[in-house]
Amino acid sequence: MPTHVFFAFFIYPVVGIILARILFGYGLLSLVYPMAAGFALLGPFVAVGLYELSRKREEGLDPYATQAIEVVHRPGMGGILTLGFVLAVLFVAWLYAANLMYTQIMGGEPASLSDFVHEVTGTSKGTDLIIYGNLVGFMFALVVLVISVVSFPMLVDRDVSVGTAVRTSVRASVENPGPVALWGLIVAVGLVLGALPLLVGLAIVLPILGHATWHLYRKLVVGPERIPINDTDEEIPAGL
């Protein structure tokens, strides 16, 4: 079993149990689903170590899973942290919006888990919450997808600014809407399914999505040949 998978099978469940205990302990049942679904907003940042492993493999190396931490030595690490902070702000904003919608539509927190499930799945208000909640969540996810679909891999790969990486990501999304939209759907579904069982599934989902994202970046932006750029150049997506 790969090292990162073995490690994650212990770490992710513990994190999941702690988060679940906090949400249940503080009467925040309404945030259980938004928390799990919202993990997709942080996914691009969480996976930067996997992009580093993919970069090393592309260079003909055979890296160990622990070498993912070497991403901190990449020239673009400052930009990675900056963009990661932006995603964290969007994640918190999503949780706030989700909680606000629940309060406005459903009222206060439910008395128990069974009451919560009944209110959400068995009432007209619950239907409204599901519809509006997913629409708002989609808007958050769309913003994150457009600004990060290739920006994080680019910051791992090259010495560019956050602005250059984000502009390239936006342009790649605009010029390849179909493939990017399909990829966003795959990532969202994969992360949600991986996060729901106490985050255990992320041990399998994250490595797959991380390495696939790297190859998507290479396909959309770099193409068959590496294109040297700097902050004064405008990256030209290669397309599919």
Tens digits of per-residue pLDDT, 133-175?
A: 999 999 999 999 999 999 999 999 999 999 999 999 999 999 9
pLDDT band, very low/low/confident/very high, at 231 (cuts 50, 70, 90): very low
Q: Which DSSP state fits 30?
A: G
Report the distance separating Cα 81 and Cα 67, nearest Å.
18
Q: What per-residue confidence (pLDDT) applies to 227?
A: 41
Residue 83 CB contacts under 8 Å (≥ 6 apart), including other chains: 45, 147, 148, 151, 152, 155, 162, 165, 166
Cα dihedral value 92, 178, 169, 191, nearest 10: 40
On whether the CB atoms of residues 68 and 4 are closer than 8 A, the answer is: yes
Position 152, amino acid: F
Please, are residues 93 and 80 in contact by the beta-carbon 8 Å criterion?
no
- pTM for the structure as a whole: 0.81
Sequence-distant (6+) residues with CB within 8 A of 21 are none
Q: How many CA atoms lie within 13 A of 108 on its CB side?
A: 3
pLDDT at 13 over 70: no
